[in-house]
Amino acid sequence: MQSIFRESIFKMKEIFFVTTNKHKVSEVKAILKPFNIKVTQIDMEYEENHDVSIEKIAKEASKKLADKLQKPVVVEDSGFFFEAYNNFPGALPRFVFNGIGYKGIMKLLKDEKRDTYAKAVVSYCQPGQNPIIFEGVMQGKIAQEVFDEDKDIMPYERIFIPEGYIVTMSKLTREEKNSISHRGKAFRKLAEYLTRKK
């Protein structure tokens, strides 16, 4: 009986992370591993209304997906906010990068303030319940040039220098990156919530 009781206490929690981004999945698995939380990817696209905030995007998507899939779903949406352009591109970093690339981003920021922040919103939702959101922010600036184009990483990691550092995210180890990143901060808040939850 004691062993069964012990197993029930330490039983691994599982979340279903809906994303097509393999880099995010790898990061989140590493972030949540110390909390004994299993991350199962659901590799599927979902509707995103980019006319609203990243908070609303994540909340609406997680609610719909949890009810549809009948699983405890996690959705993460993130953005990059250039202070020189009234926090553009915001919720559209991938769209902007795919459209104008590094050349366009560097041209936009030429002779402008390069202060930027990255924000992640993680929305956790169980079927039939309302979503709970967790946020993380990382301050920094955009570099003057692009680094590590040969690395298989997310695009903005090659040009984003976190506050307190002199190198881009692409130069950091996974452990260093996860310890300071907007995504790491948001997912650790989720982990703390799940581990406190009875």
Per-residue pLDDT of the chain (198 residues; tens, 9 = 90+): 444 334 334 467 899 999 999 999 999 999 999 999 999 999 999 887 766 789 999 999 999 999 999 999 999 999 999 999 999 999 999 999 999 999 999 999 999 999 999 999 999 999 999 999 999 999 999 999 999 999 999 999 999 999 999 999 999 999 999 999 999 999 999 999 999 875
Res 111: pLDDT: 96
Q: Is 122 helix (H, G, I), strand (E, B) or coil?
A: strand
Res 11: pLDDT: 64
Token code pair at residue 10: 């330490």
Q: Is 129 helix (H, G, I), strand (E, B) or coil?
A: coil
Q: Is 85 helix (H, G, I), strand (E, B) or coil?
A: helix
Angle between helices 182-196 and 22-32 (to 10 degrees): 50
Please calculate the CA angle 178-56-96 and round it to the nearest 5 degrees: 65
- The per-residue b/e assignment along 39-78, b for 16 or more CB within 10 angstroms, e otherwise, is bebbeeebebeeeebbbbbbbbbbbbbbeeeebbbbbbbb
Res 4: pLDDT: 39
- The per-residue b/e assignment along 1-36, b for 16 or more CB within 10 angstroms, e otherwise, is eeeeeeeeeeeeeebbbbbebeebbebbebbbeeee
Q: How far is CA 111 from the centre of its chain?
A: 29
**Distances, alpha carbon 174 to alpha carbons 37, 68, 134, 141, 183, in Å:** 18, 33, 21, 20, 12
Which candidate in 43, 67, 77, 111 is catalytic? 77
Res 1: pLDDT: 41
- Give the pTM: 0.90
Is the CB of residue 15 less than 8 Å from the CB of residue 38?
yes
For the domain covering 2-196, report its CATH number.
3.90.950.10
Active site residue 43: no
**Cα atoms found within 13 Å of the Cα of residue 88, Cβ hemisphere only:** 10
Q: Is 26 helix (H, G, I), strand (E, B) or coil?
A: helix
Q: Determine how many CB atoms are found less than 10 A away from the CB of residue 82.
A: 23
